[in-house]
A and B are shown apart, each in its own frame.
Chain A
Amino acid sequence: MEGADEELMLAYRDGNDSAFEALYGRHRTRLFRFVLRSVKERGMAEELFQDVWMRVIEARSRYAPKARFTTWLYSIAHNRLVDHWRRKGLSVVSLDDDVPVASGDNPERQVEARQGLQRFARALEALPPAQREAFLLHEEAGMSVPEIAQATGAGEEAAKSRLRYAIAKLKAAVADG
């Protein structure tokens, strides 16, 4: 089903379930990564991911395209993550065991690549939650600073500062590798 995200969501609000399937297909992978890299456990990430979409379904009658659908979707995810962080603490999923390594390279190259990704993962995990969230929203949802500010309820200057600090730290981790 074609159409902008907002049109699809309006169609689903009016009873078109195929519109939701199209919308879900567009955003499922990015949203799942956003959630997965914001929490520690994969099982918890799946539970939170499903809960976010359930909230989208429940809130369909109240949806109004005041902003991009992506902003609305990640706002819901942000609120759900905030609830989770308040209960469980702050963390991102450990990437030590499942860092993919490109095949075909020589073993030394593979080890070097793995070590570089692990450093990057640890740097991402070490980011303050607000900075990490800003970075994930920027990378996964393709949000601009104003959109990040809107989704997280922060001011634009704060969102811009968080994103800038996050990128600077991650850039240093890349440079070290």
Chain B
Amino acid sequence: MADERDPKVSQRYRELGAPEPPRQVDEAILAASRRAAEMHPAPLVPPTGRRRWYFPVAAAAIIMLSVAVTWHMQVERPDPEGYGASAPAPAPAPAPAPAQKPFTPDPPRESRQQAARDAPARAAPQAAPPQVAASRAEERMRESAPVAGARAPEDARRSEAARADRALGKISEQAVEPPEKWLERIAALRKEGKHEEADKALAEFRKRYPDYKIPESALRLPK
């Protein structure tokens, strides 16, 4: 208030001097102010104005993304009984069953209904879907089981050998005999006068042991 001020009092007060704070106090205060300005913490209050929608939108986006990824993982989850769970090395395909049909997708519902109307007789196989499902499941288990997949080549080889032995018949049974016994048996056939049978056995013997020296007793010597 200008009316309260007395010029003489103010002048005398100024004559008391103008002491100043020491330099170290100045430096300490300014250093503290700079440190505080560098920290400049983010406001603890939520953003206002145009930025108010940032947090809700970000939260909604995260939730939607999480739900979508979870749903997609459930849909795309590999079937433990399916092909995706089979052994990494592809097992050799077993001999196809004669009655097995190649996989074809199920026809649409309208097509199935039309087929049922047109061919009632064919409705019988369709009337037993559990059996078909069980058959497919059993087939999948055979194909997908890692142990079974590793065992498949051994089984195939054994079955192939069994079929070959059955085709060879008796002669093939002789093949498993030692060559000496096999030749003795051929010689015995010739003594009995069964030369045709002895010739067939000898032919097989030559196939099996092409470099084996055959004794004369097993040979039908020209007369």
Contacts and interface: CB of A to CB of B under 8 A. Distances in A.
B73 interface: no
A145 interface: yes
Given A54-B29, A145-B1, A164-B4, A15 B17 contact: no
Interface of B: 1, 4-6, 8-10, 12-13, 15-22, 25-26, 28-30, 32-34, 36-38, 40
B4 A138 contact: yes
A16 interface: yes
A49 B33 contact: no
Interface stretch (A73-81, A83-91, A95-103): A95-103
Given A33-B18, A57-B36, A120-B12, A21 B30 contact: yes
Residue in A24, A57, A98 with the greatest tally of chain B CB atoms within 10 Å: A57
B117 to A, nearest CB: 82
Interface string A40-53: 00100010011001
B6 A171 contact: yes
A33 B19 contact: yes
Given A12-B37, A17-B37, A99 B17 contact: yes
A171 B36 contact: no
A15 B37 contact: yes
Given A54-B32, A173-B12, A174-B12, 19 more contacts: A14-B40, A15-B40, A24-B30, A29-B18, A29-B20, A32-B20, A42-B19, A53-B32, A60-B36, A95-B16, A98-B19, A99-B17, A113-B15, A138-B1, A138-B5, A160-B4, A163-B4, A167-B5, A171-B6
Nearest to B32: A57
Residue in B8, B34, B37 with the greatest tally of chain A CB atoms within 10 Å: B37
A57 B33 contact: yes
B37 A117 contact: no
Given A28-B26, A46-B25, A139 B15 contact: no
A121 interface: yes
Contacts of B5: 138, 167
13 contacts: A20-B30, A21-B30, A24-B26, A24-B29, A24-B30, A24-B33, A28-B21, A33-B19, A46-B25, A138-B5, A144-B1, A160-B4, A177-B12
A54 B6 CA distance: 34
Interface in A108-136: 113, 116-117, 120-121, 124
A170 interface: yes
A53 B177 CA distance: 113
A20 B40 CA distance: 14
Given A117-B15, A144-B1, A174 B8 contact: yes
A34 B192 CA distance: 146
